[in-house]
Chains A and B, each alone.
Chain A
């Protein structure tokens, strides 16, 4: 069952050259789809369209069988109940003047959702591996990795069907990144996820399906494992070949340096 799809989408900013051309892909319900590309590939624009911040000039976006109507406030309110986002920079995405409780429960308030908001916040904050006392504190008291956990708690508190993640682990140090990737893996069991990133390693670890973008076009799409093992497009091939890999122990005795 397809939850989200783009059909022949084209988008340009103003009268400039289109930054997305003939984009078609679909996200099955429950899947983790990775959108990868380098700078200028159009991945951020694509995400803006999925968030309803812009509308495509050509083609359409379908969510759960209905066309996404970015200019219809009533539709967007219902859409946001079902779709939440996690952004790249955990320092600018949390309001520094608000306690975590207020930050995490914000979607519940803006979507006017009923229920015990404090209890829901506790559940969400525990689901991301933080303790309930987190809720009484302020963003500056937390590290980048903890802040990103808080941003994830905010994204899942309204129990969305789809989470859009934009470079959500790119700003984190390696040891933190691994743990937040684990967390995304956990929460993705319960929902559909679109993970936008330039980091092929992270996407490979998280996503079962892959869409590779280059200069506004989809150059390759399919199951992640298949693409990684045998990339068919020259761009994907050069992208994969460029990623630096760790040295492998060359000597049978790893204690011996050479």
Chain B
């Protein structure tokens, strides 16, 4: 099967500083791929580069091929056509990703309308409302009647993130990018969201690019992982291998650190 996403020799730089260097990786259709990195590793910039959302000051070079379309150097029109059908993103902080002044139901309706129009389907009020309800069910949001009229500040952080996931799914993308989607959440909520994302992408056949600093979370989600440091990939491979028997010294340092807290949790520290 040909790759859905192929990043080849990607470099990202400002006028005086290199931020990502010679980065290459691929994601197959339906694959769950994890990117692990500490702050400043370039993991989030890589996600922005894939969606063509880099700040102006950062210049990309190299190749990013997404669903057969070249992203680096593409026009804003070409990129707009990719966002939605090819890729959608869930960000870390759902409070800033959602419009504070718009009811949640309407926020989900926007990408639904866009997709229905793109597909040449019925965009009537009832058709949109039906899809919004379907999405709310899919992300297991309770009490949808109340929720569609609620504003972001009136629901919990976990519910806000479910809304953000619903908005991303509304696009029916081939690739879902989740950038630290559980980092702002409590651990019990994180567990639910991780389960939800993993189940949904499998059920819908969507490929996943899951970005996190948390090795254990990535281990729960991803089949294959890439570890980044200072803008470079230091190790890429099957999650089960990289997280248990890493080849790279830096990966090993991270794995040992994560294990130390795991060991402490067993009450053996």
In the bound complex, residues from chain B placing their C-beta under 8 Å from that of A174 are 38, 213, 215, 254, 257-258
Cross-chain contact B239 with A205 (CB below 8 angstroms):
no
How far, in whole Å, are A228 and B262 apart by their CA atoms in the complex? 11
Q: 1/0 per position for A191-208, CB-CB distance to B under 8 A? A: 000000011111011000
- B257 and A178 contacting across the interface, CB-CB below 8 Å: yes
Inter-chain contacts of B100 with A (CB < 8 A): none
Question: What residues on B are CB-neighbors of A175 within 8 Å?
Answer: 38, 253-254, 257
B245, chain A: closest CB distance, angstroms: 4
Contact A246 B243 (CB under 8 A): yes
A 167-206 binary contact with B (CB < 8 Å = 1; else 0): 0000001110110000000000000000000111110110
Q: Do the beta carbons of B214 and A244 come within 8 Å of each other?
A: yes
Quick check: B267 and A224 within 8 Å, CB to CB? Answer: yes
Cβ of B194 within 8 Å of any chain A Cβ, yes or no, is yes
A248 to B215, CA, bound (A): 13
Interface string of B34-47 (1 = CB under 8 A from A): 00001100000000
What's the Cα separation between A199 and B269 when bound, in Å?
15
Within 8 A of B (CB), among A227-258: 227-229, 238-250, 254-255, 257-258
B237 at the interface (CB under 8 A from A): yes
Tell me whether A39 is interfacial, beta carbon within 8 Å: yes
Q: Which of A39, A202, A241, A247 interacts with B261 by CB under 8 Å?
A: A202
Chain A min CB distance to B71 (Å): 29
Contacts of B191 in A (CB 8 A): 241-242, 244
Closest to B184 in A: A39
Contact B245 A228 (CB under 8 A): no
Shortest CB distance A21–B (Å): 20
Q: What are the residues of chain A within 8 A of B157 when measuring CB–CB?
A: 39
CA distance A255 to B264 in the complex (A): 26
Distance (Å) between the CB of B110 and the closest chain A CB?
29
Q: How far is the CA of A238 from the CA of B264 in the complex (A)?
A: 17
Cβ contacts under 8 Å, B240 to chain A: 247, 250, 257-258
List residues of chain A with CB within 8 A of the CB of B254. 174-175
B244 touches A244 (CB 8 A): no
Q: Which residues of B contact A257 (CB under 8 A)?
A: 237-238, 240-241
Residue B145, interface by CB 8 Å:
no
> A200 vs B237: C-alpha distance in the bound complex, in angstroms?
29
Contact B188 A205 (CB under 8 A): no
Closest to A179 in B: B257
Q: How many residues on A have C-beta within 8 angstroms of the other chain's C-beta atoms?
A: 38
A46 to B194, CA, bound (A): 30
Interface check B220, CB cutoff 8 A: yes
List of B residues within 8 angstroms of A201 by Cβ: 261-262, 264-265
Question: Taking the nearest CB of chain A, how far is it from the CB of B256, in angstroms?
Answer: 8
Are B188 and A173 neighbours in the complex by a CB distance under 8 Å?
no
The answer to whether residues A243 and B187 also contact, given A175-B254, A248-B244, A257-B238 and a CB cut-off of 8 A, is yes
Q: Please, how many angstroms separate the alpha-carbon atoms of A249 and B240 in the complex?
A: 7
Closest to A229 in B: B267
Query: Measured between alpha carbons, how far is A199 from B260 in the docked complex, in Å?
Result: 13
Min Cβ gap A28→B in Å is 19
| B16 close to chain A: CB less than 8 A | no
Residues of B212-269 contacting chain A, CB below 8 A:
213-217, 219-220, 237-241, 243-245, 253-255, 257-262, 264-269
Q: Is A225's CB within 8 Å of the partner chain B? A: yes
B65 contacts the other chain (CB 8 A):
no
Which of chain B's residues have a CB closer than 8 A to the CB of A242?
187-188, 190-191
Q: Say yes or no for A226: interface residue by CB 8 A criterion.
A: yes
Q: Does A38 belong to the interface (CB within 8 Å)?
A: yes
* Chain A residues positioned under 8 Å from B257 (CB to CB): 174-175, 177-178
Q: Does B186 touch A at the CB level, under 8 Å?
A: yes
Question: Is B187 a contact of A245 with CB atoms below 8 Å?
Answer: no
Q: How far is the CA of A38 from the CA of B156 in the complex (A)?
A: 13
Task: Please measure, in the bound complex, the distance between the C-alpha atom of A241 and the C-alpha atom of B257, giving whole angstroms.
Answer: 20
The CB with the most chain A CB atoms within 10 A, among B213, B238, B244, B268, is that of B244
Contact between chains at B260 and A205 (CB < 8 Å) = yes
Known: A173-B38, A175-B38. Is A246-B264 also a contact (CB below 8 A)?
Answer: no
**Would you call B186 and A204 a contact (CB within 8 A)?**
no
* Assembly CA distance A198 to B188 (angstroms): 11
| 5 A/B residue pairs, CB under 8 Å, sorted by A | A239-B188, A242-B187, A244-B217, A257-B237, A257-B241
**Given pairs A177-B257, A247-B239, 13 additional interface contacts (CB within 8 A):** A38-B187, A39-B157, A174-B213, A175-B257, A198-B186, A200-B187, A204-B261, A204-B265, A204-B267, A204-B269, A229-B267, A244-B190, A246-B255
